[in-house]
Amino acid sequence: MKKRAQVSLVLLAGASGAVDALAFTALGHVFAGVMTGNLVLLGISAGHGSGHDVTGPLYALGGYAVGAATTALVCRGIREARTTEWPGRVVACLAAQCLLLGFVAVAGGLLGGDPVGAWRTVLLVVAAVAMGAQSAAMVVAGSGAAPTTYFTGTLTTLVTGAVDGSGRDREQLWVIGRLLAVIGGAACAVAVREAAAPWGFVPPAVLTAAAVACQKPAHRMRRAVTELRKKTLPHTSTARH
């Protein structure tokens, strides 16, 4: 995997950790990216028989599904193109995710870093949509990417590789970097919110923007538009004849 992609993955992992930390501490004790956690929360609510506790996890699950489905639709047709470079449409989806997190940052700042009521739900859903989009984009990117919102499998692979000797290479250092980035991103977001609450939602947007910038978005998107034109122009010409 190229170094530029590895750096982007570390930054996205940091953004993921920051978003989930903020979702849990400021948006109702749920997760925006770790859907396994939300499923467990639903189970806990069912076990307690408290129906009102299911709304937060359900909103997050719904937002995540919308983000993932939208990215899958936008990137349809490039799933088989397993290259080491991220396709332009993948980068475009990450740029859109950055805009969503930018909205969360601005809205969270205007609300003093402590959204309540309907605004808390809105910001949770938007953050979950952004995380769903990020997860789906990394799936579409194929071998040139890796998970950046769920890390149980990543940690398992790291540990088993260290034990059986299959993971002793430079690639594993980047895996460790992503795991540490999750912790660092979460710590950064919470620390910023503790020090200056209105700025607490800014770190995820900044980290995601940096990840997109690493991918030379203008170049990738121009290439995606060119490829799209090549696919559509022949059909247009045929229709005219």
What does the pLDDT look like over 168-202, one tens digit per residue?
677 788 889 999 999 999 999 999 999 999 999 99
> Which residue in 137, 136, 125 sits closest to 63, CA to CA?
125
pLDDT of residue 153: 84
Structure-model confidence comparison of residues 153 and 206, the more confident one: 206
Average pLDDT over residues 129-152: 91
- Among 98, 109, 101, 104, smallest CA distance to 199 is for 109
**Lookup result for tokens 């408290």:** 50
Residue 208 CB neighbour total at 10 angstroms: 28
- Given its phi and psi angles, is residue 117 left (phi above 0), alpha (psi -120 to 50 degrees) or beta? left
Give the residue extent of every domain in the chain.
3-228
Cα–Cα distance, 145 to 102 (Å, whole number): 23
DSSP one-letter string for 130-147 = HHHHHHHHHHHHGGG---
pLDDT value of position 237:
47
> End-to-end distance of the chain based on CA atoms, in angstroms?
45
Out of 61-75, 83-97, 165-179, least confident range: 165-179
pLDDT for res 62 = 97
> Is residue 6 very low, low, confident or very high in pLDDT (cuts 50, 70, 90)?
very high
Q: In this predicted structure, what is the pLDDT of residue 47? A: 87
Q: How many CA atoms lie within 13 A of 241 on its CB side?
A: 6
Say whether pLDDT at 80 is over 60: no
Q: What percent of the chain has pLDDT over 70?
A: 84
Q: Name the 3-class secondary structure at 111.
A: coil
